């Protein structure tokens, strides 16, 4: 039954309100099975029922949809210098959020403690009871093990082999899953954003570093980390924290951009426009174009989504990319390729972590209270 719950919830998330008959057709479950699962979900206050559109003949069928307030997740987006925390509903809508900044050299155990303290404040401000939280999703800057427990690799010193899930579970008492942050946001764009009709999407996140996530949608949905920041654009160039030399990130990320602007306090939303006014810009833009065209040639995304500090780049930057990138990729990719800013509402980062938590703790099998025996029952 758990699998059936997951199929129905996933279909309702992606397809919106649906009649029971159409749910049975779409999921391959029997009509009786769909009726039984819908009754269970309705009893748990997870579904709405309403009359559908008026058909040409007869009465409209009753359609079921997910109640956005049927449950909540906690979401934490960790970047090298900032943690943003949010409480989100089942539609990934942010109900309360806050952020804290720290020095990138702060030990991860301290960052987890600070983020957990902030999370308790955000939960209190949301007025959502702790017991309504299904779990926690954490977006981290690095690769993650298959179970979503450990940050296995990162270019940040001290962020390798960190058991973030276990640490947050100990701090907050919520089941936790972690994911690479840009890949998680790519998935959130594919699930909840305006570009969800795209078959494949590359999300580029510019901040302290430049990372990306690739998502291929459809029956065999998958996400992957794209280390665009560590594509070598200038062999023999300056040393990079990944151990290489001349990586894109050494030219096209927050600190080097501020360096070429000559001001350390340029606000994020002005970073690209200020960099575009410098004499270094043509070379920096060329490096970005080189790394991006290589990435697009290899992965073939239909949609490139600009996030982080790229989201607030001037229109002239986006227009230049749209004009310059097609000539550098394969002909069959040119005709499909679209470049857009992120469509997720601010704060964007937390949608990625929320999407991962919603998938793990709600959409995959339904909430734990429905699909898994309680601890007391297991012991008995």
In order, the DSSP letters of 51-106 are E-PPPSSSPPPEEEEE-GGG-EEEEEEEETTEEEEEEEETT--EEEEEEEE--TTS
- Indicate whether 228 belongs to the interface with Zn ion (CB under 5 A): no
Alpha helices in the chain (DSSP H): 2-15, 20-27, 31-43, 108-126, 164-172, 181-192, 254-261, 271-276, 281-299, 315-324, 331-334, 349-358, 368-371, 375-379
Q: Which of 20, 77, 208, 230 binds Zn ion (CB under 5 A)?
A: 230
- Indicate whether 276 belongs to the interface with Zn ion (CB under 5 A): no
| Binding range to Zn ion, per CB under 5 A, among 43-51, 227-235, 252-260, 348-356 | 227-235
Task: State how far the Cα of 93 lies from the Cα of 87, in Å rounded to an integer.
Answer: 8
Task: State how far the Cα of 104 lies from the Cα of 184, in Å rounded to an integer.
Answer: 22
The pair of three-digit structure tokens given for residue 98, joined into one six-digit string:
């806050």
Least CB distance from residue 247 to Zn ion, whole Å? 3
* Contact criterion met (CB below 8 Å) for 319 and 341: no
Residues in contact with Zn ion, counted by CB under 5 A, come to a total of: 5
- Indicate whether 355 belongs to the interface with Zn ion (CB under 5 A): no
Q: Which of 33, 104, 244, 256 binds Zn ion (CB under 5 A)?
A: 244
| Binding range to Zn ion, per CB under 5 A, among 12-20, 203-211, 243-251, 274-282 | 243-251
Question: Closer to Zn ion at the Cβ: 250 or 351?
Answer: 250
Q: Which of 87, 215, 240, 276 binds Zn ion (CB under 5 A)?
A: 240
Q: Which of 133, 167, 190, 247 binds Zn ion (CB under 5 A)?
A: 247
- Indicate whether 274 belongs to the interface with Zn ion (CB under 5 A): no
Q: Which of 96, 99, 242, 299 binds Zn ion (CB under 5 A)?
A: 242
- Indicate whether 8 belongs to the interface with Zn ion (CB under 5 A): no
- Residues engaged in binding Zn ion (CB under 5 A): 230, 240, 242, 244, 247
């Amino acid at each position: 039954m758990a699998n059936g719950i997951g199929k129905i919830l996933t279909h309702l998330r992606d397809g919106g309100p649906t009649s029971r008959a159409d749910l049975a057709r779409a999921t391959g479950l029997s009509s009786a099975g769909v009726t039984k699962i819908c009754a269970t979900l309705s009893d748990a206050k997870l579904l709405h029922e309403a009359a559908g559109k008026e058909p040409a003949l007869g009465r409209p069928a009753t359609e079921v949809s997910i109640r956005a307030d049927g449950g909540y997740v906690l979401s934490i987006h960790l970047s090298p210098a900032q943690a943003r925390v949010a409480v989100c509903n089942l539609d990934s809508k942010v109900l309360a959020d806050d952020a804290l900044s720290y020095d990138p050299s702060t030990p991860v155990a301290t960052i987890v403690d600070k983020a957990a303290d902030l999370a308790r404040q955000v939960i209190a401000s949301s007025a959502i009871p702790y017991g309504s939280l299904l779990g926690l999703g954490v977006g981290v800057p690095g690769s993650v093990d298959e179970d979503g427990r450990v940050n296995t690799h990162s270019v940040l010193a001290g962020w390798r082999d960190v058991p973030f899930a276990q640490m947050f579970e100990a701090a907050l008492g919520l089941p936790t899953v972690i994911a690479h942050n840009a890949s998680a946001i790519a998935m959130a764009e594919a699930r909840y954003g305006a570009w969800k009709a795209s078959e494949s999407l590359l999300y580029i996140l510019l901040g302290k570093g430049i990372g990306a996530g690739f998502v291929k949608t459809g029956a065999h949905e998958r996400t992957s980390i794209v280390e665009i920041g560590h594509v070598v654009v200038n062999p023999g160039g300056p040393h990079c924290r990944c151990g290489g030399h001349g990586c894109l990130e050494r030219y096209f990320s927050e600190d080097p951009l501020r360096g070429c602007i000559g001001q350390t306090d340029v606000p994020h939303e002005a970073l690209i426009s200020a960099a575009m006014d410098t004499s270094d810009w043509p070379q920096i833009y060329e490096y970005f174009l080189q790394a991006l065209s290589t990435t697009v040639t290899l992965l073939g995304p239909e949609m490139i989504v600009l996030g982080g500090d790229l989201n607030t780049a001037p229109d002239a930057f986006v227009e230049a990319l749209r004009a310059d990138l097609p000539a550098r990729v394969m002909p069959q990719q040119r005709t499909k390729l679209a470049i857009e800013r992120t469509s997720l509402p601010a704060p964007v980062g937390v949608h990625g972590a929320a999407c991962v938590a919603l998938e793990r703790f709600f959409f995959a099998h339904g909430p734990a209270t429905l699909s898994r025996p309680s601890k007391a029952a297991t012991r008995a």
